[in-house]
Amino acid sequence: MVAYGLAMVHALFLWRRGFRRDDWVLYAILATGMALHTSAMVQRGFSLHRCPVNNLYEATAFVMWTVVAGYLVLGLWQPFRFLGVFASPLLFALGVFAIMPALDPPHVAAPQFTGGLVSLHVALIALGYGALGLGFGGSLMYLSQEHDLKFDRLRALISRLPSIQQLERVMVRLAFCGLLLLTAGLAVSFIALKPPEGQSLLKDAKVIWSIGVWLFYAGLLVWYRRADHGGRRLAWGNLLGFAFVLLTFWGVNLLSKIHNP
């Protein structure tokens, strides 16, 4: 959390400088945070003898981890290194939310999520949200670059952000990757998850919510393909969609009878 906080502070300086400096410092700070984050998750997993995706704290921490991992891969290419400027505030906000004590209750003897298929389901869903989280950061980059091209052409020319065409391609690929992972996670859930006796999986609050999120992103990509110059609409759709996920995920999880038997 300290590393992600430092990354957010450093990101503000890069923003104020107009993205004119190819700075490895932010990348190194987030890589350090990633190393510490990975160590914490591994230690927790070994202490519990299972994949640490059992409650809201662990699920949020896993989504954060996938966002950082994706950034470190994309950041190897200089034009996308500034994605960390837009991702670090999101990581810090998610981390502050995750460490709320109520999200990490003491573990009971029998964890909620047991079995390889259920762990696979949770991992795929978390990876999907991680890709959508990176798409959120990429959309902010796109809108920032578009704003500069319209109102501050000099800043757009001297900044080292990727071209708006490159950013649009990245947004589309991240949204498609996130949707593909969500599709796989939902497919596994219908095999792995066992609803309480007398209840239907399709009537569970979180399953309905997850299908709604899937339909939103699927519709967004279809709309983008059919619309001319749809990059701006896709960017705003990514922002609104992931903001909705962040604001409603914890509440829907609490309403779910399967995830809270």
Q: Does 46 or 31 have the greater pLDDT score? A: 31
Mean per-residue pLDDT over the chain, rounded: 81
Instruction: Average the pLDDT over each of 40-49, 105-114, 181-190 and give the range with the smallest value.
Output: 105-114
pLDDT value at position 46? 83
Domain span at residue 43 reads: 2-104+111-255
- The pLDDT > 90 percentage for the chain reads 22
Distance CA 259, CA 55 (A): 9
Q: Does 32 or 111 have the greater pLDDT score? A: 32
Number of folded domains in the chain? 1
Q: Is the pLDDT of residue 14 over 80?
A: no
> Tens of pLDDT along 176-224?
999 999 999 888 887 776 666 666 777 788 888 999 999 999 999 998 8
- The pLDDT > 70 percentage for the chain reads 81
Structural domain contains residue 260: no
Give the pLDDT band of residue 132 (cuts 50, 70, 90).
very high
Non-local CB neighbours of 202 within 8 Å, separated by 6+ positions: 208
Instruction: Average the pLDDT over each of 32-36, 145-149, 193-197, 241-245 and give the range with the smallest value.
Output: 193-197
Q: Which residue has the tokens 């609104």?
A: 240
Q: Is the pLDDT of residue 261 over 60?
A: no
Whole-prediction pTM: 0.78
Cα-Cα end-to-end distance for the chain: 31
Indicate the burial class of 128 (C-beta count within 10 angstroms; 0-12, 13-18, 19 or more): buried
Q: Is the pLDDT of residue 122 over 70?
A: yes
* Residue in 1, 37, 35, 252 with CA at minimum distance from that of residue 9: 1
pLDDT value at position 109? 46
Residue 133 near residue 67, CB atoms below 8 Å? yes
Helix (H, G, I), strand (E, B) or coil at 105: coil
DSSP-assigned states of every residue in 122-165: HHHHHHHHHHHHHHHHHHHHHHHHHHHHHH-HHHHHHS-PPPHH
Residue 200 near residue 228, CB atoms below 8 Å? no
DSSP state of 109: S
> Tens of pLDDT along 145-169?
787 777 665 555 446 566 778 888 8
Structural domain contains residue 261: no
